[in-house]
A = this chain, B = another copy of it.
Amino acid sequence: MTPGKIPPTTVQRLPLYLRCLVQASAMHMPVVNSVQIAEMAGTNAAQVRKDFSYLGEFGTRGIGYEVDSLITHLSKELGLTEHRRVAIIGFGRLGSALQSYPGFDERGMKVVAVIDADPAKIGTVSDGITVESADDLEEIVKRERVEIAIVTVPGKYAQGVADRLVASGVRAIMNFAPVQLVVPEGVEVRQADVAGELQVLSFHLNPRRTLA
């Protein structure tokens, strides 16, 4: 089977599979089967096999998947053969918590720039990175070859920041501001929505419904 297009719901699960495989590798498992992966990932084996089928011809029936070669392949699919260059725009409590978020490095992400508009923060050094001025955003993005921007500015500034990021060539934005960003075709935005996650939890507390 020639690798073709991958459905968004499958893409969404690839980071989790990768994390499980790295864990299996750390536990010195050379081979895993779909049942084991499903157990680690909290899904079912049929789903795992279907998701992996989009990636091409992998695994041996009755034996399983070679952990290390699957890690290599998934990393390639996710474009993680080199560290992705990440900028954090907005260095409040959330931005600063994200900069020191454990596991960015081992999961292929490198924070290369931190940007804020507050003169009191500009010029301070955090984890080896100097906070730079939002006035210089375009210049910083180009100098650091930023590929992914994490936006944690207040809601009213988020769209303006996004526009400037896109104009500077950034094509991937993770938005923590509580507004829906409008971006041109070809730019990918992921919206963090903690309140929405809590609402999904709230659904499960509701005794009137059970899940399909």
Residues of A within 8 A of B (CB): 3-9, 11-12, 14-16, 18-19, 40, 42, 77-80, 84, 86, 92-94, 96-98, 100-104, 107-109, 147-148, 150, 155, 171-174, 178, 180, 188, 190, 192-206, 209-212
Q: Which 4 A-B pairs have the closest CB atoms?
A: A15-B196, A79-B206, A93-B97, A94-B97
| Chain B residue with the shortest CB-CB distance to A173 | B201
Instruction: Supply 18 A–B pairs (Cβ within 8 Å), ascending by A.
Output: A3-B209, A4-B212, A5-B209, A15-B193, A15-B197, A19-B196, A77-B203, A93-B93, A93-B97, A101-B194, A102-B178, A108-B195, A148-B202, A172-B201, A172-B205, A188-B205, A190-B197, A192-B197
* One of B14, B96, B108, B212 near A93 (C-beta < 8 A): B96
Chain B residues lying within 8 Å of A19, measured Cβ to Cβ, are: 196
Check A15/B195 contact, CB under 8 A, given A174-B201, A201-B190, A206-B78. Answer: yes
The CA-CA distance from A100 to B94 in the complex, in Å, is: 10
| Chain B residue with the shortest CB-CB distance to A210 | B5
Chain A interface mostly: mixed
| New A-B contacts (17) at CB < 8 Å, excluding given A11-B203, A79-B203 | A5-B211, A6-B211, A11-B211, A14-B203, A16-B193, A16-B196, A84-B205, A86-B198, A93-B93, A102-B155, A103-B178, A107-B196, A108-B195, A148-B202, A188-B204, A188-B205, A192-B197
| This chain: copies in complex | 2
| B84 A92 Cβ-Cβ under 8 A | no
| B147 A195 Cβ-Cβ under 8 A | no
Chain B residues lying within 8 Å of A202, measured Cβ to Cβ, are: 78-80, 84, 108, 147-148, 172
